[in-house]
């Protein structure tokens, strides 16, 4: 199948992108801080301790659990914006009130990346004098809570393949009727948090289980060294054989590389090298990526989806900076076309994919832009950042930032994912100026 590329828009990349004045990046950074404080205050006033904010109606709701999700997810941002008093207070509140002894069935994947990750990074910040965020009288309570949470997640790993169930009940373990089908990303996105939990507690089981899950997936790869999208965790049979770098698979690749960087375990790097090489060979239609049948390599979906947008950042980590720049340029052309990236964009038609028209304030393309800027120092990426920030301001609602329900009309809907504060608005703790880097 021939893949027509949406390359006209890619050529318009430089349209409207003027260079940044030197003082401008510092001002833009203040805009991001303002967006953070405005939204954080709004969450605390209208939604906390519920999970997430409804930024149009100025209210809140529990979404993934009942665990003050947005606050837990955003703790490290309080540290990054330098707000030690609010960070301290939040850590102390969570140390006292967060309790996972609940008859509640939660997503293993989301609980791990947002809650486990939030607790562990906050613990590291709170317990270390050198971060400037040492919390007075802190005695590792968040680590104890994370350890308890980890133990409540362990029953999910009781499968013949080592690949975990997608959901677990925090009080009762895995329900008899729980689905045996999980997606590759859900089984392969645990190693960073579980590895950290093991290293900090001295309890090796978490790191071992997360690694076994990854190997359970990888050992079932196709002859092309590709993994599918969905797998039966009992039989190990792939139930959905589309391979790709986006939806359902994305962070499987990301975690192989980042787990290696964080934990120093060479096996992750070895798997990453093979997996990455195969993805570049079979999924890339330069500069885009498509979805192919994992066994035959034939194209199934010529689609860009917004979860693919982390890939240029990963390419930077893999040392493929030039390819990363090309991919980023293509993906950003979609952003420029609509002002946001739709969940799905059809490469043959050069149009939004039916039913995949929203932009839930995702961070992936922004992270890739940051990684490319760090690698190249090319000021074009600061200008890209400015354009993205301008776009995000269009999603500003009375009490926060709202999911864009349709990127064609910019109509908003009344929900803000916790990752908007935790990831999309991520700033770094020193001035974001060209040529200046923190030590």
Ligand X SMILES: *[C@@H]1O[C@H](CO)[C@@H](O)[C@H](O)[C@H]1NC(C)=O
Q: Does 267 bind ligand X (CB under 6 A)?
A: no
Q: What are the backbone angles phi and psi of residue 25, rounded to the nearest 5°?
A: -65, -35
Q: Is 37 in the site for ligand X (CB under 6 A)?
A: yes
CA atoms within 13 A on the CB side of 411: 6
Catalytic: 387? no
User: What number of residues does the chain have?
Assistant: 439
The answer to whether residue 180 forms part of the interface with ligand X (CB under 6 A) is no
Residues 6 or more apart whose CB falls under 8 angstroms from that of 343 comprise: 305, 306, 307, 353, 356, 357, 358, 359, 360
Residue in 73, 250, 254, 387 annotated catalytic: 250
* Sign of the CA dihedral running 68, 429, 253, 331: positive
Contact 194, 209 (CB under 8 A): yes
The answer to whether 38 contacts ligand X (rule: CB under 6 A) is no
CA distance 137 to 337: 51
Q: Which stretch binds ligand X (CB under 6 A): 33-41, 120-128, 203-211, 431-439?
A: 33-41
Q: How far is CA 228 from CA 113, 183, 188, 295, in A?
A: 21, 8, 12, 9
423 is catalytic: no
Question: Is residue 62 near ligand X by the rule CB under 6 A?
Answer: no
The verdict on whether 73 is a catalytic residue reads: no
Task: Give the number of residues in contact with ligand X, rule: CB under 6 A.
Answer: 5
Shortest approach of ligand X to residue 91 CB, angstroms?
A: 13
List 51, 73, 76, 110, catalytic entry: 110
List the one residue from 39, 42, 70, 83 that touches ligand X (CB under 6 A). 83
- As measured in angstroms, the least distance from the Cβ of 48 to ligand X is 11
Identify which range of 35-43, 174-182, 218-226, 307-315 contacts ligand X by CB under 6 A: 35-43
Rounded to a whole number of angstroms, the minimum distance from the CB of residue 86 to ligand X is: 4
Q: Does 40 bind ligand X (CB under 6 A)?
A: yes
288: tokens are: 């885009």
Q: Which of 112, 242, 100 is nearest to 164 (CA)?
A: 112
Q: Does 86 bind ligand X (CB under 6 A)?
A: yes
Taking the C-alpha atoms of residue 220 and residue 223, their distance in angstroms, rounded to an integer, is 9
CB of 370 to ligand X, least distance (A): 23
CA 308/CA 319 separation, integer angstroms: 18
Site for ligand X contains 48 (CB under 6 A): no
Query: Known catalytic residue: 207?
Result: no
**Can residue 41 be called a binding residue for ligand X (CB under 6 A)?**
yes
- Give the interface with ligand X as residue ranges (CB under 6 A): 37, 40-41, 83, 86
Give the residue numbers marked as catalytic. Answer: 110, 250, 343, 364
């Amino acid at each position: 199948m021939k893949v027509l590329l949406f390359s006209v828009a890619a050529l318009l990349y430089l349209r409207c992108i003027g260079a940044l004045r030197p003082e401008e990046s510092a001002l833009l950074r203040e805009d991001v801080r303002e967006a953070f404080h405005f939204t954080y205050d709004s969450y605390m006033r209208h939604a906390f301790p519920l999970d997430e904010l409804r930024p149009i109606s100025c209210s809140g709701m529990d979404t993934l659990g009942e665990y003050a999700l947005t606050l837990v997810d955003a703790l490290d941002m309080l540290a990054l914006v330098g707000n030690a008093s609010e960070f301290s207070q939040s850590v102390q509140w969570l140390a006292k009130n967060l309790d996972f002894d609940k008859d509640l069935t939660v997503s293993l994947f989301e609980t791990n990346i947002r809650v486990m990750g939030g607790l562990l990074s906050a613990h590291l910040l709170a317990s270390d004098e050198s971060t400037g965020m040492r919390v007075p009288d802190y005695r590792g309570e968040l680590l104890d809570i994370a350890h308890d949470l980890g133990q409540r997640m362990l029953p999910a790993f009781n499968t013949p393949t080592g690949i975990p169930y997608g959901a677990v009940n925090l009080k009762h373990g895995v329900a008899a009727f729980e689905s045996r089908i999980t997606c590759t990303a859900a089984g392969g996105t645990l190693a960073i948090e579980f590895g950290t939990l093991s290293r900090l507690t001295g309890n090796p089981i978490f790191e071992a289980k997360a690694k076994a899950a990854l190997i359970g997936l990888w050992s079932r790869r196709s002859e092309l060294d590709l993994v599918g999208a969905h797998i039966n965790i009992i039989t190990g049979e792939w139930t959905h054989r589309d391979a790709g770098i986006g939806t359902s698979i994305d962070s499987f690749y990301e975690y192989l590389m980042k787990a290696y960087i964080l934990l120093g375990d060479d096996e992750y790097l070895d798997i990453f090298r093979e997996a990455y090489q195969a993805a570049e060979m079979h999924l890339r239609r330069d500069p885009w990526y498509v979805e192919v049948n994992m066994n035959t390599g034939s194209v199934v979906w010529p689609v860009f989806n917004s979860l693919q947008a982390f890939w240029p950042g990963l390419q930077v980590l893999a040392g493929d900076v030039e390819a990363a720049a090309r991919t980023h340029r293509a993906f950003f052309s979609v952003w420029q076309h609509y002002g946001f990236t739709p969940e799905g964009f059809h490469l043959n038609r050069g149009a939004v994919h039916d039913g995949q028209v929203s932009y839930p304030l995702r961070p992936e393309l922004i992270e890739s832009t940051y990684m490319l800027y760090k690698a190249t120092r090319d000021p074009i990426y600061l200008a890209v950042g400015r354009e993205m920030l301008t776009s995000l301001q269009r999603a500003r609602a009375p009490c926060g930032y709202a999911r864009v329900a349709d990127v064609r009309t910019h109509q908003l809907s009344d929900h803000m994912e916790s990752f908007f504060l935790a990831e999309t608005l991520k700033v770094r703790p020193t001035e974001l100026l060209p040529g200046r880097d923190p030590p």
